Structure 1
Amino acid sequence: MNERNGKKNPIDLFSEYLSLERGASPHTIRSYVKDIRQFEDFITRGEGKDKCGGKLLNASPDDVRSYLGSIIGKRERSSVSRKLSSLRTFYRFLLKRGFIERSPAAVVSYPKGETKLVDYLTVDDVFRLIESAGGEAPSDRRDRALLELLYSTGIRVSELVGLNLLDVDFTESVLKVSGKGKKERIVPAGAPALSSLKEYLGVRSGDNFGDAKKRIDDKALFLNMRGGRLTARSVNRIVKKYILLGSLTLNVSPHKLRHAFATHLLEMGAGLRDIQELLGHESIGATQKYTHVTIDRLMEVYDKAHPRSKRS
């Protein structure tokens, strides 16, 4: 363990990171911690392949594979994938904080599973999606920044790829967005999104995205690897990539992050008129569809959980 981190339990440090730096909900934190402790229990019993002495910091890829192999068949593949996702996020955190030199979970493949169609991303789904984009390469930092911005602001993919460097105001924490009909609006952005954006901008310069001297579009905020403006099709590929890496057995398009932005705001008590303005909708009718999504979800939860919900 790196001395600068002291003797605090790495799981406790990870929980603090999720809460204070990532803004994760208590439910999400409990889910991560439960998955990690189950793996810790497995290697503590000496069931890991490399006999790491029950130490999370000494675990190997074979230990992770042995653990996943021990629960495949007992649980749904989506649950097994989620546990690997939790371990990847945990060990990526340890790597960044200097606890370990390499992640034992990074090279372990996800089990193949069924993809289901959904109309709704939970807060936990979005969190896992964004956390799956945690690499250090310039393209990884770009990807995390755009995922954060899509969810934090609710802007359309076309609006995202149309952003220029000068459209970001870090002082006021807002973006200037050019929407449908070239109508401009000011949209607030959250601290995690702006932090990820700063990290991306730190590697955007130089030759990380094409030859800087021959850059195709130097004004564009988000660049492809040739130095041109990122396209909507590329954003779609990026989102699908991290859906797989985050072990989310969902069929999700980038536009679903806009839906999640609106429905989560509505569930937290935001007004329809405010959401309409943030989304850039011309009419309130376009915004009202999110009330139906929320009501449908509430009814689904009620029907599953309430003892008097069953209809004859």
Structure 2
Amino acid sequence: MNGSDALLGQFLAHIDVERGLAKSTVKAYAADIRKYLGWLDSQGIKDLADITSHDVEAYVAALDKAGESGRSKARRLASVHEFHKFALMQGVVVDDVSARVKAPKANGHLPDVLSIDEVTQLLDAASMGGSDDPVVLRDKALLEFMYATGCRVSEAVDADLNDVDTDERVVVLTGKGSKQRLVPMGEYSIKALQRYVSLGRPQLEAKAKGGKERRAIFLNKRGRRISRQSVWEVVKMAGERAHINKPLHPHTLRHSFATHLIQGGADVRTVQELLGHASVTTTQIYTHVSPETLIETYLTAHPRAR
């Protein structure tokens, strides 16, 4: 498409430098918009000024036909919206045709959440019976850390030793757009972290070649900062050992953290701050009522339920 590569480069620089979005977010925008531009090109549309709202709607329909989830379609359309707004701001087009295209309605799917007992099973399984193996100590501390703080997997990976104050039981997490927030840590996570840092981490750090990793909390078997993929594997293996038959991934712990806080009486605004959500709307998904709670409340509250 004529001039689209140059405009895309300018847009990515804008959201990276001027807006300060996280590198992973910039990368996601780039992938979404390249997919969009590629589809437009396949339809014979060679100029941004020639795009109509019907074209954008047709693109969303094509995503639906390709089997993409409602969440995925909404994210891709959000990227398209931002790109068109930028094109208008730069004077490349005279109208934002994407503004008239709304995101598909969510299907009401709730996030995967573990019960409190299942979280306990998962964390117990990670400890392997109290093993002093450095990798086991790391895995236990990592999962305790993620459930205690509700952090994103990237925030766990990026966490440094000096981000944690074990005396005050708090950690500074760096989230999207390099925004920092202070999150409390409970006794279980602090103890698991202290045990790992004193007994397990030195052994992992000693395996590093070409200089030790002095900053990162969580290290891999080669003494380097652990990767996102490795965290996924840690969660998966602990889930298998705990015999948890639910979809399990690092974000499951974040979902469970938020849901358990809400169920325990925490208000949505507080949970929003702890999660680092920019909008309370994002957090409100955790205010859902479980079917079990719904039935129990009905049976105990309705005068003719029994």
Give the TM-score, by structure 1 length: 0.57
The correspondence of residues 82-161 of structure 1 with structure 2, limited to 5 A, is: 119-134=112-127, 135-161=131-157
Work out whether 1:223 is the aligned partner of 2:223.
no
Q: Is residue 281 of structure 1 aligned with residue 277 of structure 2?
A: yes
Counterpart CA distance in 1 for 2:205 and 2:285 is 39
Question: How far has the Cα of 1:208 moved from its partner?
Answer: 3.1
Q: Distance in 2 between matches of 1:119 and 1:303?
A: 24
The alignment yields a C-alpha RMSD, in angstroms, of: 2.5
- Cα 1:125–1:295 change in 2 (3 A) is closer
**Alignment partner, residue 93 of structure 2:** none
CA deviations over 1:180-230 (Å, ceiling 9, x no partner): 000011110001100000000012454434525634632111000101111
What are the residue-to-residue correspondences of 1:29-68 with 2, within 5 Å? none
Residue by residue over 1:143-171, the C-alpha shift from the partner in whole angstroms, topping out at 9 and shown as x without a partner, is 00011011111111110100011111111
Q: Find the partner of 1:240 among 236, 241, 261.
A: 236
Q: Which runs of 4+ in 1 moved over 4 A?
A: 300-310
1:182 aligns to 2:178 (yes or no): yes
Counterpart secondary structure, 1:175: strand
Structure 1 residue 271, shift from structure 2 partner: 0.7
CA contact (8 A) 2:135 2:200 kept: no
Task: Return the letter of the residue paired with 1:270.
Answer: A
Q: Which residue number in structure 2 is paired with residue 193 of structure 1?
A: 189
The 1:130/1:154 distance shift into structure 2, 3 A limit, reads same
Query: 1:165–1:221: 8 Å Cα contact kept in structure 2?
Result: yes
Shift of the 306–189 alpha-carbon distance from structure 1 to 2, 3 Å rule, reads same
CA-CA distance at 1:118 after TM superposition: 7.9
TM-fit CA distance, 1:299: 2.7
Aligned residue runs from structure 1 range 254-273, under 5 A: 254-273=250-269
CA-to-partner distance for each residue in 1:31-87, whole Å, 9 max, x for gaps?
xxxxxxxxxxxxxxxxxxxxxxxxxxxxxxxxxxxxxxxxxxxxxxxxxxxxxxxxx
Q: Any stretches of 5+ residues in structure 2 without a counterpart?
A: 1-109
- Partner in structure 2 of residue 111 of structure 1: none
Aligned residues: 193
- 1:279 CA displacement: 0.5
Q: Check the 8 A contact 2:157/2:228 in 1, yes or no.
A: yes
Report the 3-state secondary structure (helix = DSSP H, G, I; strand = E; otherwise coil) of the residue aligned with 1:172.
Answer: coil
Task: Tell me: CA distance 1:205–1:151, structure 2 relative to 1, closer, same or farther (3 Å).
Answer: closer
CA distance in 2, matches of 1:229, 1:304: 51
**2:169 counterpart of 1:173:** yes
2:207 partner amino acid: D
